[in-house]
A and B are shown apart, each in its own frame.
Chain A
Amino acid sequence: MGLSRAATFPYSLNMFDSRLSLQTLRESIANRSISCREIAEFFWARIEKHNAAINAIVAIDPEIAIESAKDIDRRLANGEALPALAGLPISIKDILCTRQGTTTCGSKMLAKYQSPFDAHLVIRLYDSGAIVMGKTNLDEFAMGGSTENSIFGPSRNPWDNSRTCGGSSGGSAAAVAAGLSPASIGTDTGGSIRQPASFCGVCGIKPTYGRVSRYGLIAYGSSLDVAGAFAHTVEDLALVLTSIAGHDPRDSTCLPDPVPNYAEEIRQAPKNLRIGVVREHLEDNGLDNELREALHASIETYKRLGASIVDISLPHSKYCIPTYYIIAPCEASSNLSRYDGAHYGFRAEPDPKTTSASPLESMYENTRSQGFGAEVRRRILLGTYALSAGYYDAYYLKALKVRRLIRKDYDAAFEKVDVLLGPTTPRPAFRLGEKINDPVQLYLEDLFTVGANLAGIPALSIPIGQTRSGLPLGMQLQAPPLRESTLLAAGHWYQQQTGYVPSIPPAFAAS
C-alpha cells in the first residue's frame, strides 16, 4: 500500500502498521499467509489486553467469532470463492440490532434487551463473510458527542485516555484507532461517525441518507440517521461500504440506486477535481489554530496534485445547529416513546402513593425517568416541547423550512465543485467531563458535521495530522448525494499521495 510518512508533513508520526488494514488482511488471507482463525485470535487477544484502557468494546463473544473464522477457513480450504469481507473482523456499534448478545443502545432502558433479528447491514456483513466481533460503546441512544452518556461508562481516547474519543460512535472509533478492530460500523445522525473518527485519528464515512438500510438501526432521528463505517484507510471504508450499501425493501427510505464497487472506483485518481473550501468553516473563530494550519496544508497538497480550489459559501450554515437541535429531538421524542416499560426493556414500579392520574401513568413516569439518562431525557423534553400545539409552527415547521435552505446551499455549492473541504470539528478531542455539564458547548462540537445530515449528503473524515501535543486532527470532505465514489476517491487520493495514516498509539502498540 505504500503507506509511509509524508515527507511534507509537519508533525511527528509513527509508522502505520499496515497489517491492521482490511485490505492487507484480505490479501494475506487470499495468499494463505495467515488463517482467518489466526486473525480472529489476534484481535481477540488485543481486545483482552487493551480494551480495559479505553472501554471501546462493551460486549463480545470470542468463541462464536473464532468459530465463524474457522468456518471461513474451511470454505477457503474447499476452494470456495469467498465474498469481499471473508474472515475480516468488524465490530458494531451497540445501537444496531444483533440476534447474538444484547443490543443496549448504551441505555439502562435496554440493558438486557435481546433483539430477535439482525439489522439489515449486519446480515449484509455476514453475507460478505465478515466476522462480527464485538459491540462498541456509544452515547445512550446515540445522543451525545463524547461517549460519556453510556451505562457502560465512558470510552477513552487511545491517544490520551484523559480525553474523549468523541461520540456518539466513540467506541467504534477508539476500537479502530487502538487496533482492536480493523474496521467498525457506526451511525451518524449529526456527526456521530465523523467527529469520533477525527478525534481518534481514523477514517469514518457517513454515506448518503438512505444508502444503507436503517432496518435494525435503533432510531434516534429517523430522517437523519445513517449507518457508516470506520477504518484506518479510505480504501478500507470503500470495501466495507460496498458490502453494506444497497436497497432493502424493509426500509421505505432506503435508496434503490445500484451500488458501485467503491473499492474499484477509487483506484482511478480523480481528474480535474474541483474542491470547494467552505469559507464559513475555515474562517470560524472557534477553529483551533493547529487544525487550521493542517487544513491549509491539506489544501496545498490537493493544489499541488492538480485539484482546483474554489472558495465556497454556505450562507445558512450558521443555522445548522439550531435546525438540527429541533428536528433531531422532535423525531427522538416520538421514536423513544416506545420505551415505556409496558412491553420490553426496563420497567420501574409505580409509586404506591402516586400523585399521577393512575398507577399506569406512575409506572410510565418512573420507567422513563429512571430508564433514560439525563441527555436523552433532555432531548425528549426538547422535542416534546417543540412539537406541542402552539409551538409546532415556530419550531418544527420553521426548522423544516431552514433545512430546505441548507440543502439549497449545498445544491448551489455542488454546481461549482465536486467536493467540499473543511474541518470535521472545531477543535481536537476535549477532556472527559469537560463539557458534560454544558450541553450547549457540546452541541457546538457538531457545527461542521450536522449540515451533511440535514442535507442528506455523504461526508468523510480523514486524519490529516496531529497537534504538537499528539492529538489527531481531522479533515471533512463532503460530496453530492450518492457521490460516495467521488468522495472516497478524493480521500483515497490524499492518503495515497501523502502516505499519511496515523500509527497505532504507542500505548497500544504491543500485540
Chain B
Amino acid sequence: MSDSASTNSPLAYRVVIGLEVHVQLKTQTKLFCRCSTRFGQSPNTQVCPVCLGLPGALPVLNLHAIELAARAGEALHCELALFTKWDRKNYFYPDLPKGYQTSQFDLPICVGGYLDIPIRVPSDNAAEAATLSENMVKRIRLVRAHLEEDAGKSMHDERAGRADTRIDLNRAGTPLLEIVSEPDLSSAEEAKDYLSELRLIMVYLGISDGNMQEGSLRADANVNLHIERDGETIPTPIVEIKNLNSFRSVERAIEYEVERQYREFLRTGLAMGQSPKQTRGWDDVLGQTDLQREKEDAADYRYFPCPDLVPVQLTEQQRESAKSESQFTPDRYRNVLLHTHALKETDAEILIQQGRDVVEYFVELVRAGATPKRASAWMLQDVLRHLNDHHTSIDHYPIPAPKLAELLVAIEQGKVDTSQAKQALAKILDDPSIGVATAIELLGIVRVDVSETEVLCKELLAENPDVIDKVKAGNTKAVAALVGQAKKKNRNADPRVIQEICLKMIANM
C-alpha cells in the first residue's frame, strides 16, 4: 500500500519479506580446521587437508565459533539449545570440496528470538500493528540461527573465449551464522534497517567484523506480495533473491522484485502454489533480478547427522559468559547516550553507527570531565572528520580520550575559547607527543585578569549603546556581538568572561 506501484494501479498489496543473513564469525581460524580466515590472501593459500576435503581428513570443531554463536543468540533474545549437533547437507558444486556442507538441520544452536527496528511505516493493518511495541519499534521475530561452514569461491575466467572456472578454497570452512527471520518485514527500507541493526549488533559484540565489501554479511531475501483483489488476499509465489552483499542492493533488489511480482501478477494472475518457487539473482549493474532456478519442490539435500563430529552441549559457564558478553549492544549504548548524557537523537545515532569504540571514546571524554554536549560536538565535528579524512579508526586516533577531555575541560574552565582549543587540537595532532598545557602555551595565550577585562568591557559598552538597549529589552544574546570587537582589542580576552561581565554591568545600569 505504501509502494509506488500500488498508487499507479487499482490493486492494493502488502509486501512480505523474510531475510536469511549469513554472518561470518570473527574467529582466527576456520570452523573445523586451523586454517586462517584472513580475507584477501592469494588463492588456495589458506587451506589444509580438512578444508580441501582430502580423503582421510576429519573435522575438529573450533569452540570459539560456538561461543560467538551463543553470544549472538543471547543478544538476539534466542533460546540457546542445550544440545546441538552437526548435519551434512549434501549437494554437488565445485566450490564445495567434500560434496556436502557441514551445517545444522533440526537442532540449531539458537531458536526463536527477535530484533527490534525503528518504525518507518505507520500501519493500519491490525496484525502488523500487534507486532509493534510501545517504544515505537517494530519487532522482527527470528526463526532460528545456526552454524555452518562457508563454501569456496568459483571464479569464471572468460578471457579470450575460455570458459574456464577457477576455484579458490581459502574461504571454504569459514564459520557462518545463518540468522533466519520470520516474514515480518514489510518494505525494502525495513529490510535494510533490519540488516543494518543486525550488522551493528554483530560488530558491537565482536561476533563479526561486519565488513560488507569482504562478504562478512550476506543476505538472501524471500519476497512476495499479498494482493487484495475482490475482497480476497492473494499471496504471490515466493521468490528467493540470492546473495545480496550491500544494504543498497538489499533495498534495490526488493524494490525491483516488488514491482516485478506485481506486474507478473497482473499479467498471469498466478498465486502462490500455482507456479514454482523461484530463486533469482540480483544483478547490481543492470539493476534487476534474474531467474536462476525454478523448482517444483525444494532441492533434496539428504540431511543426516555428521558421523565425524560429536554433538555439542553448552556448559552453564559458556551460557553465562555468552550472556555477560552479549550486554554491550548498540541499544544499550543508545540508552546511555540518550538518557544518561541527554544527547540529541540524531547526534547519538551518528556516534552509535560509528561503532562501540567510538561510543566508548565519547563516554570516556565525559567521564574525564567534558560536558556531554561539548564532547559530542567535538566528536562529530573534529574526531570523526579526522578519522574519515585519514581513513582510520578510533583506536588509531592520535589523541587518547583523557587528553582530549583535558582540552575540553580547559574550555569549560575558560582557559581557552573554542577557536583556541581547535588550534591547540591542531597542534597536538601535528605532534601528538606534546601535552594539552604545552599546546595552549604554544598558542601564546596569556590569561587576562579580571580588572583588565572590566576596563575592556566598559570601553565596549560605551562604544555600543545599541547592545545595551537590546539586552535591556530582553535579548541577552545580543551581547555576543561584543566578543569580536573585544578580540580585536585584546586577542587573549576570554569571550565567555567578556559576555558575563558585560551582562552584569548592563544589569547594574
Residues of A within 8 A of B (CB): 96-97, 103, 105, 110, 113, 115-117, 119, 214-219, 221-223, 249-253, 330-331, 333-334, 336-340, 342-344, 360-361, 364, 384, 387-389, 392, 396
A251 near B92: Cβ-Cβ < 8 Å: no
Verify if B114 is at the interface (C-beta below 8 Å from A).
Answer: no
Q: Which residues of B contact A103 (CB under 8 A)?
A: 55-56
Stretch at the interface among B69-77, B93-101, B337-345: B93-101
Question: What is the number of contacts between chain A and chain B, taking CB atoms within 8 Å?
Answer: 99
Query: Contacts A116-B49, A388-B302 given: A334-B308 contact, CB under 8 Å?
Result: no
Q: Could you list 14 A-B pairs, sorted by A, with CB under 8 Å?
A: A116-B54, A119-B56, A219-B55, A221-B307, A222-B308, A253-B307, A253-B308, A333-B90, A337-B98, A337-B100, A338-B55, A342-B97, A387-B90, A392-B302
Give 17 new A-B contacts, CB below 8 A, not counting A215-B56, A330-B304.
A222-B307, A223-B307, A252-B309, A253-B309, A333-B90, A334-B302, A337-B98, A337-B99, A339-B99, A340-B94, A342-B94, A343-B53, A343-B94, A343-B97, A387-B303, A387-B304, A392-B302
A280–B57 CA distance with the chains assembled, in angstroms: 38
For window 250-308 of chain B, which residues contact chain A by CB distance below 8 Å? 300, 302-304, 307-308
For window 52-73 of chain B, which residues contact chain A by CB distance below 8 Å? 52-61
B302 near A115: Cβ-Cβ < 8 Å: no
Closest to B165 in A: A360
Verify if B12 is at the interface (C-beta below 8 Å from A).
Answer: no
Query: Contacts A223-B307, A342-B94, A388-B300 given: A113-B167 contact, CB under 8 Å?
Result: no
Closest to B98 in A: A338
A342–B99 CA distance with the chains assembled, in angstroms: 10
Closest to A215 in B: B58
Closest to A389 in B: B300
Instruction: Give chain B nearest CB distance to A273 CB in angstroms.
Output: 34
B49 near A364: Cβ-Cβ < 8 Å: no
Q: Which residues of A contact B90 (CB under 8 A)?
A: 333-334, 337, 387
Query: Contacts A223-B307, A389-B300, A392-B304 given: A216-B97 contact, CB under 8 Å?
Result: no
A342–B96 CA distance with the chains assembled, in angstroms: 10
Q: Which residues of A contact B92 (CB under 8 A)?
A: 337, 340, 361, 364
Query: Contacts A334-B302, A343-B52 given: A250-B58 contact, CB under 8 Å?
Result: yes
In the complex, the 4 A-B pairs of residues with the closest C-beta atoms, listed nearest first: A337-B99, A222-B307, A387-B302, A223-B307
Instruction: Give chain A nearest CB distance to B98 CB in angstroms.
Output: 5
A250 near B60: Cβ-Cβ < 8 Å: yes
Closest to A360 in B: B94
Query: Contacts A334-B88, A364-B92, A384-B302 given: A115-B55 contact, CB under 8 Å?
Result: yes
A264–B113 CA distance with the chains assembled, in angstroms: 57
A280–B302 CA distance with the chains assembled, in angstroms: 35
Q: Which residues of A contact B304 (CB under 8 A)?
A: 330, 334, 387, 392, 396
Instruction: Give chain A nearest CB distance to B263 CB in angstroms.
Output: 29
Number of interface residues of B (CB under 8 A): 28
Verify if B434 is at the interface (C-beta below 8 Å from A).
Answer: no
A251 near B58: Cβ-Cβ < 8 Å: yes
- Name A252's contact: one of B60, B88, B97, B98 (CB within 8 Å): B60
Query: Contacts A252-B61, A337-B99, A340-B99 given: A105-B55 contact, CB under 8 Å?
Result: yes
A338–B97 CA distance with the chains assembled, in angstroms: 6
Q: Which residues of A contact B302 (CB under 8 A)?
A: 333-334, 384, 387-389, 392
Scoring A119, A253, A340, A361 by chain B CB atoms within 10 A of each residue's CB, the highest score goes to A340
A387–B89 CA distance with the chains assembled, in angstroms: 11
Q: Which residues of B contact A343 (CB under 8 A)?
A: 52-53, 94, 97, 167
Q: Which residues of B contact A339 (CB under 8 A)?
A: 99
Verify if B121 is at the interface (C-beta below 8 Å from A).
Answer: no
Closest to B298 in A: A389
A392–B60 CA distance with the chains assembled, in angstroms: 27
Query: Contacts A338-B99, A384-B302 given: A115-B307 contact, CB under 8 Å?
Result: no
Q: Which residues of A contact B310 (CB under 8 A)?
A: 252-253
Closest to A341 in B: B94
A219–B167 CA distance with the chains assembled, in angstroms: 24
Q: Which residues of B contact A119 (CB under 8 A)?
A: 56
Instruction: Give chain A nearest CB distance to B91 CB in angstroms.
Output: 8
A342–B154 CA distance with the chains assembled, in angstroms: 12
Closest to A103 in B: B55
Instruction: Give chain B nearest CB distance to A107 CB in angstroms.
Output: 10
A334–B61 CA distance with the chains assembled, in angstroms: 19
Instruction: Give chain B nearest CB distance to A409 CB in angstroms.
Output: 22
Q: Which residues of A contact B54 (CB under 8 A)?
A: 115-117, 344
Q: Which residues of A contact B55 (CB under 8 A)?
A: 97, 103, 105, 110, 113, 115, 218-219, 338
Scoring A97, A113, A252, A253 by chain B CB atoms within 10 A of each residue's CB, the highest score goes to A252
A249 near B60: Cβ-Cβ < 8 Å: yes
B100 near A214: Cβ-Cβ < 8 Å: no
A214 near B58: Cβ-Cβ < 8 Å: yes
Instruction: Give chain A nearest CB distance to B239 CB in angstroms.
Output: 21
A253–B94 CA distance with the chains assembled, in angstroms: 28
B56 near A97: Cβ-Cβ < 8 Å: yes
Closest to B60 in A: A252
A178–B61 CA distance with the chains assembled, in angstroms: 43
Q: Which residues of A contact B94 (CB under 8 A)?
A: 340, 342-343, 360
Instruction: Give chain B nearest CB distance to A187 CB in angstroms.
Output: 11
A110–B55 CA distance with the chains assembled, in angstroms: 10
A340–B52 CA distance with the chains assembled, in angstroms: 13
Q: Which residues of A contact B99 (CB under 8 A)?
A: 334, 336-340
Q: Which residues of A contact B59 (CB under 8 A)?
A: 252
Closest to A345 in B: B55
A116–B53 CA distance with the chains assembled, in angstroms: 12
Query: Contacts A222-B308, A389-B300 given: A338-B53 contact, CB under 8 Å?
Result: yes
Instruction: Give chain A nearest CB distance to B157 CB in angstroms.
Output: 15
Closest to B50 in A: A250
Closest to A400 in B: B305
Q: Which residues of B contact A222 (CB under 8 A)?
A: 307-308
Instruction: Give chain A nearest CB distance to B168 CB in angstroms.
Output: 12
A97–B304 CA distance with the chains assembled, in angstroms: 26
A388–B303 CA distance with the chains assembled, in angstroms: 8
Closest to A331 in B: B307
Closest to A248 in B: B58
A331–B305 CA distance with the chains assembled, in angstroms: 9
B56 near A216: Cβ-Cβ < 8 Å: yes
For window 132-177 of chain B, which residues contact chain A by CB distance below 8 Å? 167
A364–B49 CA distance with the chains assembled, in angstroms: 22
Q: Which residues of B contact A116 (CB under 8 A)?
A: 49, 54
- Name B56's contact: one of A115, A340, A396 (CB within 8 Å): A115
Q: Which residues of B contact A388 (CB under 8 A)?
A: 300, 302
Instruction: Give chain B nearest CB distance to A391 CB in angstroms.
Output: 10
Instruction: Give chain A nearest CB distance to B260 CB in angstroms.
Output: 25
Closest to B52 in A: A343
Q: Which residues of A contact B49 (CB under 8 A)?
A: 116-117
Scoring B53, B97, B302, B308 by chain A CB atoms within 10 A of each residue's CB, the highest score goes to B302
Q: Which residues of A contact B307 (CB under 8 A)?
A: 221-223, 253, 331
Instruction: Give chain B nearest CB distance to A109 CB in angstroms.
Output: 10
A218–B97 CA distance with the chains assembled, in angstroms: 15
B300 near A252: Cβ-Cβ < 8 Å: no
Q: Which residues of A contact B303 (CB under 8 A)?
A: 387
Closest to A343 in B: B97
B100 near A218: Cβ-Cβ < 8 Å: no
A117–B58 CA distance with the chains assembled, in angstroms: 12
Closest to B310 in A: A252
Instruction: Give chain A nearest CB distance to B300 CB in angstroms.
Output: 5
Q: Which residues of A contact B61 (CB under 8 A)?
A: 252
Q: Which residues of B contact A218 (CB under 8 A)?
A: 55-56
A262–B28 CA distance with the chains assembled, in angstroms: 41
A334–B101 CA distance with the chains assembled, in angstroms: 10
A218–B309 CA distance with the chains assembled, in angstroms: 16
Closest to A118 in B: B56
Q: Which residues of A contact B60 (CB under 8 A)?
A: 249-252
Closest to A249 in B: B60
Contact with A along B100-113 (1 / 0, CB 8 A): 10000000000000
Instruction: Give chain B nearest CB distance to A246 CB in angstroms.
Output: 16
